[in-house]
Structure 1
Amino acid sequence: MRQNIKKNLIILAITQLIILIILFLYHHKITLIHYIDISFYFTAGFILLSLLLYTIHSGFYDIISKSFNTAFSRDREKRKFEDVPGLSELITLDEKPLLFHGLFNGLLMIAALIAYYF
């Protein structure tokens, strides 16, 4: 557990460093409003990617991926629809770390937004 917390903190620190580097390279100065803008993109990316992985793991896209696989491999080999693996079986990434990093970056962004308005 302690190793997992340390790894998450290192990833969060790297994410914040990347945000600051992009902020400096793109805007040539570091301001609070520009930090909020850039961190919003990171937060949205992490959360949307975790939601996409969640829907994939739920099996929502399995029928579509099986249908495409069956349709595009029709001439090469004959196999049953049930033998084709679903997309949820092929993608094994865990969505929970992405959601955690997205929410934590979002909390830092909200804290910066509150500091900006007060």
Structure 2
Amino acid sequence: MKLRLRNQLIMVAFTQLAIFSLSLIFNHDISLLSYINISFYISAAFLLTALLLYTIHSGFYDVISRSFTLAFSRGHKNKKFSEIPGLSELVTVNQKPLLFIGLVNGFLMLLALFAYYFLLT
């Protein structure tokens, strides 16, 4: 448990370093506004990937993936629909670390957004 949290916090630190690096590359300086913009995109990517994996694990795409597999393998083998594994059985990536990293980065972005708002008003 502690090792998993440690690894996730290392990934959060790595994404924060990537945000600062991307800010330097694209804007040639580190400003609060560029931090907010880049961290929004990175946290949105993590959160949307975690939500996509959650949807896949729920079995929502199983019938669609089985149907495509059955349709594209018509001439090769005679498989029954129930023999084809669903997409939720094939994708085994855990979405919880991605969700954690996305939420922490989103929270840090919101803190920076509130600081930006209150510093300008």
Q: TM-score, normalised by structure 1?
A: 0.98
Output the amino acid matched with 2:52: L
Structure 1 unaligned residues grouped into runs of 5+: none
Give the number of equivalent residue pairs. 118
The one-character-per-residue Cα deviations of 1:90-118 (angstroms, maximum 9, x if unpaired) are 00001111111100000000000011111
Partner SS for 1:79: coil
Instruction: Please list, as runs of the form range in 1=range in 2, the aligned pairs for 1:24-35 lying within 5 A after superposition.
Output: 24-35=24-35
What residue in structure 2 maps to residue 91 of structure 1? 91
Output the amino acid matched with 1:69: T
Structure 2 unaligned residues grouped into runs of 5+: none
- Measure the CA separation in 2 of the matches of 1:88 and 1:55: 9
What residue in structure 2 maps to residue 64 of structure 1? 64
- Measure the CA separation in 2 of the matches of 1:97 and 1:63: 27
Runs of 4+ in 1 over 6 A off after TM superposition: none
What residue in structure 2 maps to residue 17 of structure 1? 17
What residue in structure 2 maps to residue 104 of structure 1? 104
What residue in structure 2 maps to residue 37 of structure 1? 37
What residue in structure 2 maps to residue 50 of structure 1? 50
Report the CA distance between 1:2 and its aligned residue.
Answer: 1.9
Report the CA distance between 1:10 and its aligned residue.
Answer: 0.8
Aligned-pair RMSD on alpha carbons? 0.6
What residue in structure 2 maps to residue 4 of structure 1? 4
